[in-house]
Amino acid sequence: MKKHCVKFLIWSLALFIGFSTEVHAQSPAVDTYTQYKAWVTLKVLGEGLPPVMMIALGTGGLTSSNRVFGPQLPTQARSISQASKVMPSNRLNHIFGKSEHALESLITKFGSQEGAYNAVQNAANQALKTGRLTPNAKGILPSGDLGNIINVGGVDIRLIGGRVENGQVILSSFSRKGL
Protein backbone atom coordinates (compact mmCIF):
# COMPACT_ATOMS: atom_id res chain seq x y z
CA MET A 1 0.00 0.00 0.00
CA LYS A 2 2.86 2.31 0.91
CA LYS A 3 4.41 1.59 -2.48
CA HIS A 4 1.18 2.58 -4.21
CA CYS A 5 0.97 5.81 -2.23
CA VAL A 6 4.49 6.81 -3.32
CA LYS A 7 3.60 6.04 -6.91
CA PHE A 8 0.42 8.05 -6.57
CA LEU A 9 2.38 11.08 -5.34
CA ILE A 10 4.74 10.81 -8.31
CA TRP A 11 1.77 10.51 -10.58
CA SER A 12 0.08 13.53 -9.11
CA LEU A 13 3.16 15.56 -10.00
CA ALA A 14 3.25 14.05 -13.50
CA LEU A 15 -0.44 14.77 -13.92
CA PHE A 16 0.10 18.41 -12.91
CA ILE A 17 2.87 18.71 -15.53
CA GLY A 18 0.62 17.03 -18.03
CA PHE A 19 -2.24 19.44 -17.45
CA SER A 20 0.17 22.35 -17.71
CA THR A 21 1.31 21.06 -21.09
CA GLU A 22 -2.26 20.67 -22.24
CA VAL A 23 -3.16 24.20 -21.17
CA HIS A 24 -0.11 25.57 -22.96
CA ALA A 25 -1.04 23.53 -25.98
CA GLN A 26 -3.49 26.28 -26.82
CA SER A 27 -0.42 28.22 -27.80
CA PRO A 28 1.01 27.28 -31.18
CA ALA A 29 4.46 27.17 -29.57
CA VAL A 30 3.68 23.78 -27.95
CA ASP A 31 3.37 20.97 -30.46
CA THR A 32 1.24 17.88 -30.19
CA TYR A 33 4.30 15.65 -30.19
CA THR A 34 5.32 17.01 -26.77
CA GLN A 35 1.89 16.12 -25.43
CA TYR A 36 2.03 12.71 -27.04
CA LYS A 37 5.40 11.95 -25.44
CA ALA A 38 4.05 13.01 -22.05
CA TRP A 39 1.05 10.74 -22.52
CA VAL A 40 3.21 7.77 -23.51
CA THR A 41 5.47 8.37 -20.49
CA LEU A 42 2.47 8.42 -18.17
CA LYS A 43 1.10 5.29 -19.76
CA VAL A 44 4.37 3.35 -19.45
CA LEU A 45 5.08 4.43 -15.87
CA GLY A 46 1.50 3.72 -14.91
CA GLU A 47 1.97 -0.03 -15.15
CA GLY A 48 1.41 -1.52 -11.71
CA LEU A 49 -0.85 1.19 -10.36
CA PRO A 50 -4.32 0.11 -9.26
CA PRO A 51 -6.84 0.63 -12.10
CA VAL A 52 -8.73 3.28 -10.13
CA MET A 53 -5.58 5.44 -9.87
CA MET A 54 -4.84 5.03 -13.58
CA ILE A 55 -8.32 6.16 -14.47
CA ALA A 56 -7.89 9.12 -12.11
CA LEU A 57 -4.65 10.01 -13.88
CA GLY A 58 -6.34 9.79 -17.23
CA THR A 59 -4.02 7.18 -18.69
CA GLY A 60 -5.84 3.94 -18.17
CA GLY A 61 -9.53 4.66 -18.49
CA LEU A 62 -11.80 2.36 -20.38
CA THR A 63 -12.66 5.01 -22.94
CA SER A 64 -10.52 7.60 -24.66
CA SER A 65 -12.54 10.38 -23.03
CA ASN A 66 -10.94 9.46 -19.69
CA ARG A 67 -7.48 10.08 -21.01
CA VAL A 68 -5.67 13.33 -20.54
CA PHE A 69 -3.41 13.05 -23.57
CA GLY A 70 -4.84 10.13 -25.49
CA PRO A 71 -6.97 12.22 -27.86
CA GLN A 72 -3.82 13.96 -29.08
CA LEU A 73 -2.55 10.75 -30.70
CA PRO A 74 -4.58 10.99 -33.93
CA THR A 75 -3.39 14.56 -34.40
CA GLN A 76 0.20 13.40 -34.11
CA ALA A 77 -0.46 10.58 -36.57
CA ARG A 78 -1.85 13.12 -39.03
CA SER A 79 1.31 15.20 -38.66
CA ILE A 80 3.49 12.22 -39.52
CA SER A 81 1.29 11.46 -42.51
CA GLN A 82 1.58 15.04 -43.75
CA ALA A 83 5.35 14.92 -43.36
CA SER A 84 5.63 11.72 -45.39
CA LYS A 85 3.49 13.32 -48.09
CA VAL A 86 6.17 15.95 -48.54
CA MET A 87 8.90 13.36 -49.16
CA PRO A 88 7.18 10.15 -50.24
CA SER A 89 9.54 7.25 -49.47
CA ASN A 90 7.73 4.85 -51.79
CA ARG A 91 8.22 7.29 -54.65
CA LEU A 92 11.91 7.67 -53.85
CA ASN A 93 12.37 3.90 -53.82
CA HIS A 94 10.44 3.55 -57.04
CA ILE A 95 12.53 6.14 -58.88
CA PHE A 96 15.99 5.60 -57.42
CA GLY A 97 15.69 1.87 -56.73
CA LYS A 98 15.80 1.01 -60.42
CA SER A 99 19.41 1.10 -61.58
CA GLU A 100 18.33 1.33 -65.23
CA HIS A 101 17.16 4.87 -64.51
CA ALA A 102 20.87 5.76 -64.31
CA LEU A 103 20.46 8.48 -61.67
CA GLU A 104 23.76 7.99 -59.82
CA SER A 105 25.26 11.22 -61.19
CA LEU A 106 22.19 13.16 -60.09
CA ILE A 107 22.38 11.73 -56.55
CA THR A 108 26.09 12.53 -56.40
CA LYS A 109 25.46 16.07 -57.57
CA PHE A 110 22.75 16.77 -55.00
CA GLY A 111 24.15 14.67 -52.16
CA SER A 112 21.22 12.31 -51.59
CA GLN A 113 18.12 10.83 -53.14
CA GLU A 114 16.02 13.40 -51.29
CA GLY A 115 18.19 16.25 -52.57
CA ALA A 116 18.01 14.93 -56.12
CA TYR A 117 14.24 14.45 -55.90
CA ASN A 118 13.73 18.00 -54.62
CA ALA A 119 15.97 19.38 -57.37
CA VAL A 120 13.93 17.59 -60.04
CA GLN A 121 10.71 18.75 -58.38
CA ASN A 122 11.85 22.38 -58.43
CA ALA A 123 13.12 22.15 -62.01
CA ALA A 124 9.86 20.55 -63.15
CA ASN A 125 7.79 23.28 -61.51
CA GLN A 126 9.99 25.91 -63.10
CA ALA A 127 9.70 24.22 -66.51
CA LEU A 128 5.94 24.18 -66.12
CA LYS A 129 5.86 27.91 -65.34
CA THR A 130 7.92 28.70 -68.41
CA GLY A 131 5.78 26.53 -70.68
CA ARG A 132 8.37 23.83 -71.35
CA LEU A 133 6.18 20.92 -70.22
CA THR A 134 3.42 19.39 -72.30
CA PRO A 135 0.54 18.22 -70.08
CA ASN A 136 -2.59 17.01 -71.87
CA ALA A 137 -6.07 18.39 -71.22
CA LYS A 138 -6.29 16.32 -68.02
CA GLY A 139 -2.96 17.65 -66.75
CA ILE A 140 -1.17 14.36 -67.41
CA LEU A 141 2.45 14.56 -68.55
CA PRO A 142 3.77 12.17 -71.21
CA SER A 143 6.09 9.21 -70.77
CA GLY A 144 8.24 7.05 -73.04
CA ASP A 145 9.95 8.75 -75.95
CA LEU A 146 7.57 11.69 -75.57
CA GLY A 147 8.60 12.29 -71.95
CA ASN A 148 9.56 15.89 -71.22
CA ILE A 149 13.29 16.41 -70.81
CA ILE A 150 14.33 19.02 -68.29
CA ASN A 151 17.70 20.27 -67.15
CA VAL A 152 18.36 19.80 -63.45
CA GLY A 153 21.52 21.62 -62.38
CA GLY A 154 23.25 20.76 -65.62
CA VAL A 155 21.95 17.17 -65.76
CA ASP A 156 19.29 16.24 -68.31
CA ILE A 157 16.41 14.24 -66.87
CA ARG A 158 13.47 12.66 -68.68
CA LEU A 159 10.21 12.89 -66.78
CA ILE A 160 8.17 9.69 -66.82
CA GLY A 161 4.55 10.71 -66.56
CA GLY A 162 3.53 13.07 -63.78
CA ARG A 163 0.49 15.23 -63.25
CA VAL A 164 -0.14 18.95 -62.99
CA GLU A 165 -2.33 20.12 -60.13
CA ASN A 166 -2.77 23.71 -58.96
CA GLY A 167 0.18 24.87 -61.00
CA GLN A 168 2.53 22.28 -59.47
CA VAL A 169 3.99 19.11 -60.93
CA ILE A 170 3.28 15.86 -59.09
CA LEU A 171 6.19 13.64 -60.09
CA SER A 172 5.51 10.04 -61.07
CA SER A 173 8.99 8.89 -62.05
CA PHE A 174 12.04 10.07 -63.93
CA SER A 175 15.13 8.65 -65.61
CA ARG A 176 18.29 9.49 -67.47
CA LYS A 177 17.65 6.69 -69.93
CA GLY A 178 16.00 7.52 -73.22
CA LEU A 179 17.47 11.03 -73.51
Partner 1 sequence: MQELNTLEFSILEKLSVKYPFIKEHIPFLKVNSRENTGAGMYVNLIYNTPTDKELHFGEQNSAISTNEIIEIASLKYGLGYEVDIAEGEVKFIELFTYGEEWDGIIPINFTFTP
The site that binds partner 1 (CB under 8 A) totals a number of residues, namely 29
| CA–CA distance, 91 with 114 (Å, rounded to integer) | 10
Dihedral, CA of residue 138, residue 170, residue 150 and residue 118, to nearest 10: 170
Query: Is 172 among the residues that bind partner 1 (CB under 8 A)?
Result: yes
Query: Is 113 among the residues that bind partner 1 (CB under 8 A)?
Result: no
- What is the 3 state secondary structure string of the chain? CHHHHHHHHHHHHHHHHHHHHHHHCCCCCCCHHHHHHHHHHHHHHCCCCCHHHHHHHCCCCCCHHHCCCCCHHHHHHHHHHHHHHHCCHHHHHHHHCCHHHCCHHHHHHHCCHHHHHHHHHHHHHHHHHCCCCCCCCCCECCCHHHCCEEEECCEEEEEECCEEECCEEECCEEECCCC
In angstroms, what is the minimal distance from the CB of 33 to partner 1?
24
67 vs 101 by CB, closer to partner 1 = 101
83 vs 146 by CB, closer to partner 1 = 146
In angstroms, what is the minimal distance from the CB of 161 to partner 1?
4
In angstroms, what is the minimal distance from the CB of 144 to partner 1?
3
Q: One symbol per residue from 58 to 97: x for binding partner 1 (CB under 8 A), - otherwise; what is it?
A: ------------------------------x-xx-xxx-x
In angstroms, what is the minimal distance from the CB of 143 to partner 1?
5
Site for partner 1 in 125-164 (CB under 8 A): 140, 142-147, 158, 160-163
Q: Please report, as ranges, the residues that interact with partner 1 according to CB under 8 A.
A: 88, 90-91, 93-95, 97-98, 100, 140, 142-147, 158, 160-163, 165, 170-173, 175, 177-178
